[in-house]
Chain A
Amino acid sequence: MAPSKKKHANNKACVIPGGFTVLSLQFSASSAAQHKLYVKEHKVRAEKSSHRPLDRTLFVLNVPPYCAEHVVKRLFSQFGDVQSVELRDHPGSSKHLGPKLSRFFRPADKQGFKVGYIVFESPSSIAAAKSHPLSEPLVVSTEEHPVTTGVQKWIQQYTDSFVQPDHLQKIVDTFMEVHDKRKEEEAERQKREAELQQEDEEGWVKVTRGNKGTKARPHSEAANQKTLQKELRKKKRKELMNFYTWQHRNTQKEHIAELRKKFEEDKQRIALLRAQRKFRPY
Protein backbone atom coordinates (compact mmCIF):
# COMPACT_ATOMS: atom_id res chain seq x y z
CA MET A 1 0.00 0.00 0.00
CA ALA A 2 2.37 2.61 -1.20
CA PRO A 3 1.25 6.09 -0.39
CA SER A 4 0.41 7.73 -3.65
CA LYS A 5 1.56 11.12 -2.63
CA LYS A 6 5.19 10.40 -3.41
CA LYS A 7 5.04 12.93 -6.19
CA HIS A 8 4.81 15.69 -3.67
CA ALA A 9 8.12 16.97 -2.53
CA ASN A 10 9.10 15.59 0.81
CA ASN A 11 8.98 18.74 2.79
CA LYS A 12 5.84 20.06 1.25
CA ALA A 13 2.33 19.75 2.52
CA CYS A 14 0.21 17.21 0.76
CA VAL A 15 -3.16 18.45 -0.37
CA ILE A 16 -5.71 16.15 -1.85
CA PRO A 17 -8.84 16.99 -3.84
CA GLY A 18 -11.58 18.12 -1.53
CA GLY A 19 -9.37 20.62 0.14
CA PHE A 20 -7.97 18.33 2.78
CA THR A 21 -4.37 18.39 3.86
CA VAL A 22 -2.91 15.05 4.84
CA LEU A 23 -0.93 14.86 8.04
CA SER A 24 0.69 11.67 9.19
CA LEU A 25 0.54 10.45 12.72
CA GLN A 26 2.32 7.67 14.51
CA PHE A 27 1.93 6.29 17.97
CA SER A 28 5.51 6.49 19.14
CA ALA A 29 8.82 7.33 17.60
CA SER A 30 9.56 3.67 16.98
CA SER A 31 6.27 2.88 15.24
CA ALA A 32 6.52 1.51 11.75
CA ALA A 33 3.10 2.35 10.40
CA GLN A 34 1.42 5.71 10.20
CA HIS A 35 -2.14 6.89 10.32
CA LYS A 36 -3.23 9.71 8.11
CA LEU A 37 -5.10 12.67 9.49
CA TYR A 38 -7.09 14.86 7.12
CA VAL A 39 -7.41 18.46 8.14
CA LYS A 40 -9.28 21.38 6.67
CA GLU A 41 -10.56 24.67 7.95
CA HIS A 42 -14.03 24.44 9.40
CA LYS A 43 -16.46 25.93 6.92
CA VAL A 44 -20.13 25.53 7.51
CA ARG A 45 -22.69 27.92 6.19
CA ALA A 46 -25.59 27.18 8.41
CA GLU A 47 -23.88 26.94 11.71
CA LYS A 48 -23.31 30.04 13.73
CA SER A 49 -21.89 28.52 16.82
CA SER A 50 -19.78 30.39 19.21
CA HIS A 51 -18.00 27.15 20.00
CA ARG A 52 -16.46 26.92 16.58
CA PRO A 53 -15.49 30.33 15.21
CA LEU A 54 -15.19 29.92 11.45
CA ASP A 55 -11.78 31.47 11.02
CA ARG A 56 -10.01 29.75 13.85
CA THR A 57 -11.44 26.21 13.80
CA LEU A 58 -9.62 23.31 12.20
CA PHE A 59 -11.60 20.24 11.22
CA VAL A 60 -9.68 16.97 11.64
CA LEU A 61 -10.70 13.58 10.33
CA ASN A 62 -9.51 10.20 11.46
CA VAL A 63 -8.35 10.76 15.02
CA PRO A 64 -7.31 7.33 16.38
CA PRO A 65 -8.98 6.05 19.55
CA TYR A 66 -5.92 6.48 21.75
CA CYS A 67 -5.80 10.24 21.14
CA ALA A 68 -7.85 11.78 23.88
CA GLU A 69 -8.71 15.49 23.82
CA HIS A 70 -5.68 16.50 25.82
CA VAL A 71 -3.42 14.49 23.49
CA VAL A 72 -4.85 16.18 20.43
CA LYS A 73 -4.42 19.51 22.13
CA ARG A 74 -0.76 18.78 22.75
CA LEU A 75 -0.20 17.50 19.20
CA PHE A 76 -1.65 20.57 17.59
CA SER A 77 -0.21 23.16 19.94
CA GLN A 78 2.93 23.01 17.82
CA PHE A 79 1.00 25.08 15.28
CA GLY A 80 -0.07 27.67 17.81
CA ASP A 81 -1.96 27.86 21.07
CA VAL A 82 -5.07 25.74 21.13
CA GLN A 83 -8.14 27.09 22.80
CA SER A 84 -10.30 23.99 22.81
CA VAL A 85 -10.62 20.57 21.28
CA GLU A 86 -13.87 18.78 20.63
CA LEU A 87 -13.85 15.12 19.55
CA ARG A 88 -16.95 13.58 18.06
CA ASP A 89 -18.00 10.27 16.54
CA HIS A 90 -19.50 11.97 13.53
CA PRO A 91 -19.14 15.43 12.10
CA GLY A 92 -22.05 17.69 12.74
CA SER A 93 -23.21 20.65 14.69
CA SER A 94 -22.33 20.62 18.33
CA LYS A 95 -25.16 18.88 20.04
CA HIS A 96 -27.32 20.36 22.70
CA LEU A 97 -25.87 19.02 25.89
CA GLY A 98 -28.80 19.38 28.23
CA PRO A 99 -27.90 19.83 31.85
CA LYS A 100 -24.26 19.27 32.60
CA LEU A 101 -23.69 15.82 33.98
CA SER A 102 -21.01 14.55 36.29
CA ARG A 103 -18.69 12.00 34.80
CA PHE A 104 -20.49 9.13 36.54
CA PHE A 105 -23.70 9.84 34.74
CA ARG A 106 -22.42 10.58 31.29
CA PRO A 107 -22.88 7.74 28.85
CA ALA A 108 -19.57 6.08 28.13
CA ASP A 109 -17.68 7.41 25.15
CA LYS A 110 -17.20 5.22 22.13
CA GLN A 111 -13.59 4.31 21.62
CA GLY A 112 -13.52 4.60 17.87
CA PHE A 113 -11.92 6.81 15.26
CA LYS A 114 -13.22 10.31 15.64
CA VAL A 115 -13.49 13.66 14.02
CA GLY A 116 -12.16 16.66 15.83
CA TYR A 117 -12.83 20.38 15.91
CA ILE A 118 -9.76 22.25 17.09
CA VAL A 119 -10.18 25.89 17.95
CA PHE A 120 -6.92 27.83 17.87
CA GLU A 121 -6.27 31.08 19.62
CA SER A 122 -5.27 32.76 16.40
CA PRO A 123 -6.34 32.19 12.77
CA SER A 124 -2.73 31.95 11.59
CA SER A 125 -2.31 28.57 13.23
CA ILE A 126 -4.66 27.06 10.68
CA ALA A 127 -2.37 27.92 7.83
CA ALA A 128 0.55 26.52 9.78
CA ALA A 129 -1.24 23.24 10.30
CA LYS A 130 -2.27 23.05 6.67
CA SER A 131 1.24 23.52 5.44
CA HIS A 132 2.73 20.87 7.68
CA PRO A 133 4.63 18.40 5.50
CA LEU A 134 3.50 14.79 5.24
CA SER A 135 6.95 13.43 5.89
CA GLU A 136 7.07 14.73 9.44
CA PRO A 137 4.63 12.66 11.40
CA LEU A 138 2.99 13.79 14.59
CA VAL A 139 3.96 11.54 17.47
CA VAL A 140 1.30 10.61 19.99
CA SER A 141 3.26 9.09 22.81
CA THR A 142 6.58 10.67 23.67
CA GLU A 143 8.89 10.24 26.59
CA GLU A 144 7.74 13.42 28.29
CA HIS A 145 4.08 12.74 27.63
CA PRO A 146 3.51 9.01 27.53
CA VAL A 147 0.09 7.81 26.51
CA THR A 148 -0.99 4.65 28.22
CA THR A 149 -2.88 1.95 26.40
CA GLY A 150 -3.73 -1.65 27.00
CA VAL A 151 -3.44 -3.23 30.41
CA GLN A 152 -2.08 -0.08 32.04
CA LYS A 153 -4.98 1.93 30.78
CA TRP A 154 -7.57 -0.61 31.86
CA ILE A 155 -6.17 -0.76 35.35
CA GLN A 156 -6.34 3.02 35.45
CA GLN A 157 -9.93 2.93 34.23
CA TYR A 158 -10.80 0.39 36.85
CA THR A 159 -9.29 2.51 39.57
CA ASP A 160 -11.10 5.60 38.31
CA SER A 161 -14.44 3.88 38.34
CA PHE A 162 -14.59 4.05 42.12
CA VAL A 163 -16.64 6.75 43.65
CA GLN A 164 -17.17 7.82 47.21
CA PRO A 165 -20.74 7.35 48.36
CA ASP A 166 -20.95 10.80 49.93
CA HIS A 167 -19.47 12.34 46.82
CA LEU A 168 -22.04 10.57 44.73
CA GLN A 169 -24.74 11.67 47.08
CA LYS A 170 -23.63 15.24 46.68
CA ILE A 171 -23.70 15.06 42.89
CA VAL A 172 -27.15 13.59 42.95
CA ASP A 173 -28.42 16.17 45.38
CA THR A 174 -27.17 19.12 43.38
CA PHE A 175 -28.62 17.67 40.20
CA MET A 176 -31.96 17.13 41.80
CA GLU A 177 -31.95 20.63 43.17
CA VAL A 178 -31.42 22.03 39.71
CA HIS A 179 -33.98 19.68 38.32
CA ASP A 180 -36.58 20.64 40.88
CA LYS A 181 -35.93 24.29 40.29
CA ARG A 182 -36.37 23.82 36.55
CA LYS A 183 -39.58 21.98 37.09
CA GLU A 184 -40.84 24.72 39.31
CA GLU A 185 -40.01 27.35 36.75
CA GLU A 186 -41.79 25.32 34.13
CA ALA A 187 -44.86 25.07 36.29
CA GLU A 188 -44.71 28.76 36.96
CA ARG A 189 -44.53 29.55 33.28
CA GLN A 190 -47.46 27.31 32.48
CA LYS A 191 -49.47 28.91 35.18
CA ARG A 192 -48.76 32.33 33.76
CA GLU A 193 -49.78 31.22 30.31
CA ALA A 194 -52.95 29.76 31.67
CA GLU A 195 -53.72 33.02 33.37
CA LEU A 196 -53.31 34.85 30.11
CA GLN A 197 -55.97 32.72 28.53
CA GLN A 198 -58.51 33.35 31.24
CA GLU A 199 -61.34 35.69 30.50
CA ASP A 200 -60.62 39.18 31.59
CA GLU A 201 -63.22 41.35 33.34
CA GLU A 202 -64.96 42.21 30.11
CA GLY A 203 -65.25 38.61 29.04
CA TRP A 204 -62.53 38.67 26.41
CA VAL A 205 -60.13 35.85 25.89
CA LYS A 206 -56.81 36.56 24.34
CA VAL A 207 -56.15 33.86 21.73
CA THR A 208 -52.55 33.25 20.95
CA ARG A 209 -50.84 31.04 18.45
CA GLY A 210 -48.48 28.34 19.47
CA ASN A 211 -48.52 25.92 22.30
CA LYS A 212 -52.03 25.46 23.49
CA GLY A 213 -51.01 22.61 25.70
CA THR A 214 -52.28 24.12 28.87
CA LYS A 215 -55.70 25.04 27.68
CA ALA A 216 -56.86 21.86 26.03
CA ARG A 217 -57.02 18.85 28.24
CA PRO A 218 -53.68 17.04 28.20
CA HIS A 219 -53.89 14.76 25.23
CA SER A 220 -51.70 11.93 24.15
CA GLU A 221 -51.63 9.39 21.39
CA ALA A 222 -52.67 6.61 23.70
CA ALA A 223 -55.71 8.53 24.90
CA ASN A 224 -56.75 9.27 21.34
CA GLN A 225 -56.57 5.65 20.42
CA LYS A 226 -58.54 4.60 23.44
CA THR A 227 -61.45 6.81 22.52
CA LEU A 228 -61.36 5.55 18.97
CA GLN A 229 -61.52 1.97 20.12
CA LYS A 230 -64.38 2.74 22.45
CA GLU A 231 -66.35 4.10 19.55
CA LEU A 232 -65.65 1.03 17.47
CA ARG A 233 -66.73 -1.28 20.24
CA LYS A 234 -69.94 0.62 20.64
CA LYS A 235 -70.67 0.26 16.98
CA LYS A 236 -69.95 -3.43 17.02
CA ARG A 237 -72.31 -4.07 19.88
CA LYS A 238 -75.17 -2.60 17.96
CA GLU A 239 -74.55 -4.75 14.92
CA LEU A 240 -76.82 -7.72 14.24
CA MET A 241 -75.13 -10.93 13.20
CA ASN A 242 -76.80 -13.51 10.96
CA PHE A 243 -80.15 -11.86 11.34
CA TYR A 244 -81.23 -11.52 7.77
CA THR A 245 -80.96 -14.33 5.26
CA TRP A 246 -78.49 -12.42 3.16
CA GLN A 247 -76.26 -12.04 6.18
CA HIS A 248 -76.35 -15.74 6.84
CA ARG A 249 -75.53 -16.46 3.24
CA ASN A 250 -72.69 -14.03 3.41
CA THR A 251 -71.19 -15.70 6.46
CA GLN A 252 -71.22 -19.06 4.71
CA LYS A 253 -69.63 -17.53 1.69
CA GLU A 254 -66.97 -15.99 3.86
CA HIS A 255 -66.29 -19.33 5.50
CA ILE A 256 -65.71 -21.04 2.20
CA ALA A 257 -63.55 -18.19 1.04
CA GLU A 258 -61.53 -18.51 4.22
CA LEU A 259 -61.03 -22.24 3.68
CA ARG A 260 -60.07 -21.63 0.11
CA LYS A 261 -57.57 -19.02 1.08
CA LYS A 262 -56.01 -21.30 3.62
CA PHE A 263 -55.89 -24.13 1.14
CA GLU A 264 -54.23 -21.90 -1.39
CA GLU A 265 -51.72 -20.70 1.18
CA ASP A 266 -50.89 -24.23 2.21
CA LYS A 267 -50.46 -25.21 -1.39
CA GLN A 268 -47.96 -22.44 -1.86
CA ARG A 269 -46.10 -23.37 1.25
CA ILE A 270 -45.87 -26.93 0.01
CA ALA A 271 -44.64 -25.82 -3.36
CA LEU A 272 -41.97 -23.82 -1.63
CA LEU A 273 -40.89 -26.73 0.52
CA ARG A 274 -40.93 -29.07 -2.43
CA ALA A 275 -38.65 -26.75 -4.28
CA GLN A 276 -36.26 -26.99 -1.37
CA ARG A 277 -36.55 -30.78 -1.36
CA LYS A 278 -37.92 -30.79 2.14
CA PHE A 279 -39.87 -34.00 1.67
CA ARG A 280 -37.07 -36.44 1.40
CA PRO A 281 -37.36 -38.43 4.56
CA TYR A 282 -33.77 -39.64 4.46
Chain B
Amino acid sequence: MANTRQAARPLSPHLQIYRFTITMAMSIIHRITGGALYFGTLLLAWWLLSVAMGPDAYALFQTVAGSWFGKLVLFGYTWALLNHMVSGLRYLVWDNIRAFDLKSADVMSWGAVIVGVVLTIVTWVLAYELKGVL
Protein backbone atom coordinates (compact mmCIF):
# COMPACT_ATOMS: atom_id res chain seq x y z
CA MET B 1 0.00 0.00 0.00
CA ALA B 2 2.70 2.50 0.96
CA ASN B 3 4.42 2.48 -2.42
CA THR B 4 1.40 2.65 -4.65
CA ARG B 5 1.35 6.45 -4.70
CA GLN B 6 4.75 7.30 -6.14
CA ALA B 7 4.64 10.46 -8.22
CA ALA B 8 2.23 13.38 -8.39
CA ARG B 9 -0.56 11.34 -9.80
CA PRO B 10 -4.06 12.82 -9.71
CA LEU B 11 -5.87 11.87 -6.52
CA SER B 12 -9.53 11.02 -6.51
CA PRO B 13 -11.57 13.91 -5.12
CA HIS B 14 -12.73 13.61 -1.55
CA LEU B 15 -16.16 14.33 -0.06
CA GLN B 16 -15.75 18.04 0.66
CA ILE B 17 -15.07 19.03 -2.94
CA TYR B 18 -17.98 17.13 -4.46
CA ARG B 19 -20.77 19.37 -5.68
CA PHE B 20 -23.98 18.79 -3.75
CA THR B 21 -26.52 16.80 -5.71
CA ILE B 22 -30.03 15.95 -4.57
CA THR B 23 -29.59 12.36 -5.68
CA MET B 24 -26.66 11.82 -3.31
CA ALA B 25 -28.50 13.51 -0.45
CA MET B 26 -31.62 11.42 -1.03
CA SER B 27 -29.49 8.30 -1.30
CA ILE B 28 -28.10 8.65 2.21
CA ILE B 29 -31.42 9.95 3.55
CA HIS B 30 -33.09 6.82 2.18
CA ARG B 31 -30.65 4.70 4.14
CA ILE B 32 -30.98 6.79 7.31
CA THR B 33 -34.80 6.81 7.22
CA GLY B 34 -34.69 3.06 6.56
CA GLY B 35 -32.55 2.57 9.66
CA ALA B 36 -34.85 4.82 11.70
CA LEU B 37 -37.94 2.93 10.53
CA TYR B 38 -36.21 -0.33 11.45
CA PHE B 39 -36.05 0.72 15.10
CA GLY B 40 -39.33 2.59 14.76
CA THR B 41 -41.10 -0.75 14.36
CA LEU B 42 -40.68 -1.02 18.13
CA LEU B 43 -43.22 1.81 18.40
CA LEU B 44 -45.68 -0.11 16.22
CA ALA B 45 -45.10 -3.23 18.33
CA TRP B 46 -45.59 -1.23 21.53
CA TRP B 47 -48.81 0.32 20.25
CA LEU B 48 -50.31 -3.05 19.20
CA LEU B 49 -49.13 -4.82 22.36
CA SER B 50 -50.51 -2.07 24.58
CA VAL B 51 -53.95 -2.51 23.01
CA ALA B 52 -53.63 -6.29 23.41
CA MET B 53 -52.56 -6.00 27.06
CA GLY B 54 -55.36 -3.80 28.35
CA PRO B 55 -56.49 -0.28 29.32
CA ASP B 56 -53.57 0.45 31.69
CA ALA B 57 -50.89 -0.42 29.14
CA TYR B 58 -52.79 1.56 26.49
CA ALA B 59 -53.08 4.57 28.80
CA LEU B 60 -49.31 4.53 29.31
CA PHE B 61 -48.74 4.39 25.56
CA GLN B 62 -51.15 7.28 25.01
CA THR B 63 -49.49 9.39 27.69
CA VAL B 64 -46.07 8.94 26.10
CA ALA B 65 -47.30 9.25 22.50
CA GLY B 66 -49.38 12.30 23.38
CA SER B 67 -46.54 14.19 25.08
CA TRP B 68 -44.64 16.82 23.10
CA PHE B 69 -41.66 14.49 22.83
CA GLY B 70 -43.86 11.61 21.73
CA LYS B 71 -45.48 13.80 19.09
CA LEU B 72 -42.08 14.95 17.86
CA VAL B 73 -40.93 11.34 17.48
CA LEU B 74 -44.19 10.36 15.77
CA PHE B 75 -43.93 13.34 13.41
CA GLY B 76 -40.40 12.29 12.52
CA TYR B 77 -41.58 8.69 12.12
CA THR B 78 -44.37 9.81 9.77
CA TRP B 79 -41.95 11.81 7.65
CA ALA B 80 -39.34 9.01 7.64
CA LEU B 81 -41.97 6.48 6.51
CA LEU B 82 -43.49 8.65 3.77
CA ASN B 83 -40.12 9.97 2.56
CA HIS B 84 -38.69 6.44 2.46
CA MET B 85 -41.75 5.25 0.54
CA VAL B 86 -41.70 8.00 -2.11
CA SER B 87 -37.91 7.85 -2.34
CA GLY B 88 -38.08 4.08 -2.75
CA LEU B 89 -40.44 4.45 -5.72
CA ARG B 90 -37.55 6.12 -7.59
CA TYR B 91 -35.42 3.04 -7.08
CA LEU B 92 -38.17 0.80 -8.43
CA VAL B 93 -38.23 2.96 -11.58
CA TRP B 94 -34.43 3.04 -11.86
CA ASP B 95 -34.21 -0.73 -11.34
CA ASN B 96 -35.90 -1.00 -14.73
CA ILE B 97 -33.35 1.36 -16.33
CA ARG B 98 -36.00 3.99 -16.85
CA ALA B 99 -35.66 7.75 -16.22
CA PHE B 100 -31.98 7.18 -15.60
CA ASP B 101 -30.63 10.39 -17.15
CA LEU B 102 -29.34 13.16 -14.85
CA LYS B 103 -32.22 15.53 -15.47
CA SER B 104 -34.90 12.91 -14.72
CA ALA B 105 -33.00 11.67 -11.69
CA ASP B 106 -32.80 15.21 -10.27
CA VAL B 107 -36.46 15.97 -10.97
CA MET B 108 -37.60 12.70 -9.40
CA SER B 109 -35.42 13.24 -6.34
CA TRP B 110 -36.66 16.78 -5.71
CA GLY B 111 -40.17 15.50 -6.37
CA ALA B 112 -39.68 12.83 -3.72
CA VAL B 113 -38.52 15.45 -1.18
CA ILE B 114 -41.55 17.65 -1.84
CA VAL B 115 -44.14 14.85 -1.98
CA GLY B 116 -42.72 13.34 1.23
CA VAL B 117 -43.06 16.62 3.13
CA VAL B 118 -46.52 17.40 1.70
CA LEU B 119 -47.86 13.92 2.57
CA THR B 120 -46.48 14.26 6.11
CA ILE B 121 -48.19 17.61 6.64
CA VAL B 122 -51.46 16.34 5.11
CA THR B 123 -51.32 13.34 7.46
CA TRP B 124 -50.94 15.50 10.55
CA VAL B 125 -53.59 18.00 9.50
CA LEU B 126 -55.97 15.09 8.94
CA ALA B 127 -55.01 13.55 12.29
CA TYR B 128 -55.97 16.78 14.10
CA GLU B 129 -59.06 17.45 11.97
CA LEU B 130 -60.41 13.91 12.41
CA LYS B 131 -59.69 13.68 16.12
CA GLY B 132 -62.60 12.06 17.90
CA VAL B 133 -64.46 11.02 14.74
CA LEU B 134 -64.44 7.31 15.61
Tell me whether A and B are bound partners.
no
